[in-house]
Amino acid sequence: MSENVLFNQGQAISSKYDFSKTYLSAELFKKKNGSGPEPSANQPELITLSDGNEIPLIGFGTYTLTGGSGVNTMMQALSTGYRALDSAVNYENEGAVGEVIRRSSLKREDLFITSKLPGRHQKFDEAITTIQESLFRMHLDYFDLYLIHWPNPLENHYVEAWQALIEAQKMGLIRSIGVSNFLPEHLERLEKETGVLPVVNQIELHPYWSQPEQRKFDKEHGIFTQAWSPLGRANAVLHDEIIKKIAETHHKSIAQVILRWELQLGVGVIPKSSSTKRQFENLDLFNFELSDEEISSISALDKPDGRTNSQNPAVYQEF
C-alpha cells in the first residue's frame, strides 16, 4: 500500500479523500465584551479516535509559550483557527493555557486541550493528584486528551501511570487517554497488563526521523500517531533542497510541504509558531496534494541518527 494515506477511525483511507473539504464549515462564535479571538472558519478537520472521540488533525504546540507573551501567542493561534492546544506539566504553562481558555469567547466544547504527566509523578496516587492539579491550574473540569509524557523505562512505573490514566478517565477527568514517545515494546506491555491500549501516541516525527515501523505498529493497533516537532524544531530539514524543489512545484513553503507530507502519512501534527503568518500557513495545507513520488522522496530523507536531540525512549529519562 502507498504511504499516501490518511488515518480515520483506526483505519487507513485512500489519498483520494476530498481535501478541498478538510476545513470544516465551523460555527462562528461572537466575541463577548470585546475580548477573545475573532471568529474563524479555518478550523482543521476532526478525525475519530478508536474510543469514538474526535481530535483535530492539526493542533497548536505550546512548548516554551509561557507568561503574558505565551498567552498572546496562543490567543492569536485561536484567532487564526486552531482549536487544539497541546500542553504538558513540564512545559510549565498550564496556567497560561488556562488563561487563554478564560479569555477566549470560544465554548469549552469547541476546544481540544491536551496535557501530559511528567516522569516524576508516575506512581498511581501521584499521577491522579497531578492530573487534578493540572485541571485546577487550567480551571477545567476535564482534559480532552491526557498523555504519559515519556515511558521512563528504567524507573519502570509507566504501567502504574497508565493504570492511573485509566482510572482518571473513569472519574471523568479525561476523555481520551494516550501516551507520548512510547515504543512498540512499551505499548505491548500496556495492553498485556491492563487490556487497554492508548488511542494516541505522540512521537518525534519529521523527514529526517519518519519512524515507519512505529507508525505501522500504531496504525495496526488503532493508535493515532501525532508528530511533535513536526518541522524538526527548525533544524536543517527546513533548508533541505529536495523538499525545497517540491515546495516550489506547489508554490508552497517548505514547512507546508513537510506538514502535508505528515498528514498524507496518516499522522496528526502539532506545529508551533509565534508568527501570525506562519500560523496561517501551517493551517493552509488542504488545497494541494503531494504525489506518491513526492511522498517517497521526502520519506527517503530518513536518517538512522535523525532524532533532533538523541532522545531514545528505550533509555531516555525525563522527570
Number of H helices, E strands in the chain: 10, 12
In the three-class reduction of DSSP (H, G, I as helix; E, B as strand; rest coil), residue 185 is classed as helix
**What stretch of H or E contains 298?**
helix 292-299
Per-residue pLDDT of the chain (319 residues; tens, 9 = 90+): 334 333 332 333 223 223 223 322 222 222 333 444 433 446 678 999 999 999 999 999 999 999 999 999 999 999 999 999 999 999 999 999 999 999 999 999 999 999 999 999 999 999 999 999 999 999 999 999 999 999 999 999 999 999 999 999 999 999 999 999 999 999 999 999 999 999 999 999 999 999 999 999 999 999 999 999 999 876 789 999 999 999 999 999 999 999 999 999 999 999 999 999 999 999 999 999 999 999 999 999 999 989 988 899 999 999 9
Concatenated DSSP letters for 196-262? ---SEEEEE-BTTB--HHHHHHHHHTTPEEEEESTTGGGSGGGG-HHHHHHHHHHT--HHHHHHHHH
**Residue 32 covered by a domain:** no
Which residues does residue 206 pair with via DSSP β-bridges, in sequence order? 209
How far is residue 104's CA from residue 73's CA, in Å, rounded to a whole number? 13
How far is residue 180's CA from residue 236's CA, in Å, rounded to a whole number? 24
Query: By residue range, what is the domain housing residue 132?
Result: 6-14+38-299
pLDDT of 2: 39
**Residue 273 covered by a domain:** yes
**Residue 20 covered by a domain:** no
Give yes or no for a contact between 114 and 59, defined as CB atoms under 8 angstroms apart.
yes
250 annotated as belonging to a binding site for a ligand: no
How far is residue 19's CA from residue 305's CA, in Å, rounded to a whole number? 33
Cα-flanking dihedrals φ and ψ of residue 88, to 5°? Answer: -165, 155
**Residue 53 covered by a domain:** yes
**Residue 314 covered by a domain:** no
**Residue 26 covered by a domain:** no
How far is residue 88's CA from residue 97's CA, in Å, rounded to a whole number? 10
pLDDT digits (tens, 9 = 90+) for 225-255: 999 999 987 678 999 999 999 999 999 999 9
Please identify which of the residues 17, 23, 82, 91 carries the catalytic annotation.
91
Count of the separate structural domains present in the chain: 1
Please report, for the domain that includes residue 280, its CATH number.
Answer: 3.20.20.100
Q: Which residues of 174-191 are buried (b: 16+ CB within 10 A; e: fewer)?
A: bbbbbbbbbbeebbebbe
Q: Respond yes or no: is residue 23 known to be catalytic.
A: no
- Could you list the beta-strand ranges (E) of the chain: 6-8, 11-13, 46-48, 54-56, 60-61, 84-86, 112-117, 143-148, 174-180, 200-204, 224-228, 268-269
**Residue 173 covered by a domain:** yes
**Residue 114: all three cell numbers together:** 491536551
**Beta pairing, strands 224-228 & 54-56:** unpaired
The one-character DSSP state at 278 is H
**Residue 68 covered by a domain:** yes
Nearest-Å Rg of the Cα atoms of the chain is: 19
Residue located via cell numbers 526521523: 209
How far is residue 313's CA from residue 297's CA, in Å, rounded to a whole number? 27
pLDDT digits (tens, 9 = 90+) for 44-76: 789 999 999 999 999 999 999 999 999 999 999
